[in-house]
Structures are given as structure tokens and as C-alpha cells.
């Protein structure tokens, strides 16, 4: 269809002639789809084209008769493409770029926190009875495993954890 025929169909639609909708859609949809495929790829293109056409038809009454239809149409499609690209840019994570932001080097604050936590844990373990303290030390790899039945050892560790939760401000004993 030539541009003059498209302009005429758009003018009819702008005046409220609904019979112009189907032929205009038939001509504009492939154009919107081609442009969208070129700009956002085949996966997103149908959604972009559909959204652009919805906007074209929703704003048809704003179309000025006597002006060419295609520049107005392509401006709407281009705006929709930019909108989709902006939205997609917010959610794309470049793992290489984000990894560069992570500093794996130990810093003084992290070391201080680790030392303080270990100190608090050791003070809590020291306040436990010998059986519980030995069970936790074995679980942490700081002492050899005691010569106990596995069920007995698990029960001692469970009781030791319950005591630690109470020491650290928990209100349940497990």
C-alpha cells in the first residue's frame, strides 16, 4: 500500500471510522515488527510491535489529518523500543562488571568482626560444662572426636548448641 493510502486510512481512523482499523493494522503491523526485530531482537519484537500498535490506535484521535502517517507511526514505534530498552537495561546483570565491584581482599573491618565473633564464641564455649565444650570443639575441628557412640555425640552437640543459643540471647533450648 502506498503512503497516500496509509495517510487516508489513518485520517479515517482519527475521525472515528472503525472500518479503517483492520486494513491499517494489516499494513502497520509488519512494519512495526521489522523495526522492532532490528532494534530489540526477534524474542522481544512481537511484544514491542504490539505495544506500539496499541499506542498508535489509542492515540489515533491525536493524529493530525493532512500530515503523513508513517513518520508519526515510526516515532511511536521508536519510543516504544526505547522504553523497552530502558526497562531491559535495569534488569540485565553483567556478571563480569559486577564481579569487578566486589573486593575480595580482606579489610581491617572484616578481620575485626571475625576476631570479635571468634572471641565471643570462645568465651561462650568456655562457660559451658566440659562435655559440651569438648563436643563443640570436636565439631569445629579444634579437638579430636571423642570416643563416643554417634548418637551420644550428636546429643551432646545438640545440648551444647541449645546452651549457646541461651547464652547468645535465644529463648529456646532446641
For residue 173, being part of any structural domain is answered with no
Q: Are residues 85 and 131 in the same domain?
A: no
Q: Are residues 62 and 133 in the same domain?
A: no
Mean pLDDT of 11-28: 94
For residue 130, being part of any structural domain is answered with yes
Residue 162 has pLDDT above 70, yes or no: yes
Q: Are residues 39 and 118 in the same domain?
A: no
How many domains, in total, are found in the chain?
2
* pLDDT over 90, % of the chain: 44
Mean pLDDT of 117-140: 85
For residue 117, being part of any structural domain is answered with yes
46 by Cβ neighbours in 10 Å (0-12 / 13-18 / 19+) ranks as middle
**How would residue 101 be classed by pLDDT, with cut points 50, 70 and 90?**
low
CB 38 within 8 A of CB 27: no
Domain that holds residue 147: 108-167
Q: Are residues 155 and 85 in the same domain?
A: no
Q: Are residues 76 and 13 in the same domain?
A: yes
Residue 168 has pLDDT above 70, yes or no: yes
Q: Are residues 86 and 116 in the same domain?
A: no
Write down the pLDDT at residue 68: 93
Answer whether 0.85 is exceeded by the pTM: no
Which among 67-81, 102-116, 137-151 has the top mean pLDDT? 67-81
Write down the pLDDT at residue 27: 95
State the Cα–Cα distance between residues 103 and 155, nearest whole angstrom: 41
State the Cα–Cα distance between residues 112 and 28, nearest whole angstrom: 65
Amino acid at each position: 500500500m502506498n503512503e497516500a493510502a496509509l495517510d487516508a486510512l489513518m485520517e479515517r481512523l482519527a475521525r472515528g471510522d472503525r472500518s479503517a482499523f483492520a486494513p491499517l493494522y494489516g499494513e502497520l503491523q509488519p512494519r512495526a515488527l521489522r523495526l522492532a526485530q532490528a532494534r530489540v531482537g526477534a524474542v522481544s519484537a512481537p511484544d514491542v510491535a504490539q505495544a506500539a500498535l496499541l499506542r498508535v490506535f489509542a492515540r489515533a484521535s491525536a493524529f493530525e489529518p493532512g500530515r503523513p502517517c508513517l513518520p508519526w507511526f515510526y516515532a511511536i514505534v521508536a519510543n516504544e523500543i526505547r522504553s523497552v530498552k530502558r526497562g531491559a537495561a535495569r534488569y540485565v546483570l553483567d556478571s563480569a562488571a559486577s564481579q569487578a565491584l566486589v573486593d575480595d581482599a580482606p579489610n581491617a573491618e572484616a578481620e575485626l568482626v571475625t576476631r570479635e565473633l571468634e572471641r565471643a564464641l570462645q568465651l561462650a564455649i568456655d562457660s559451658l560444662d566440659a562435655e559440651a565444650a569438648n563436643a563443640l570443639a570436636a565439631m569445629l575441628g579444634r579437638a579430636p572426636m571423642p570416643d563416643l557412640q554417634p548418637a551420644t555425640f550428636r546429643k551432646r552437640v545438640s545440648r551444647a548448641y541449645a546452651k549457646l543459643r541461651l547464652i547468645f540471647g535465644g529463648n529456646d533450648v532446641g
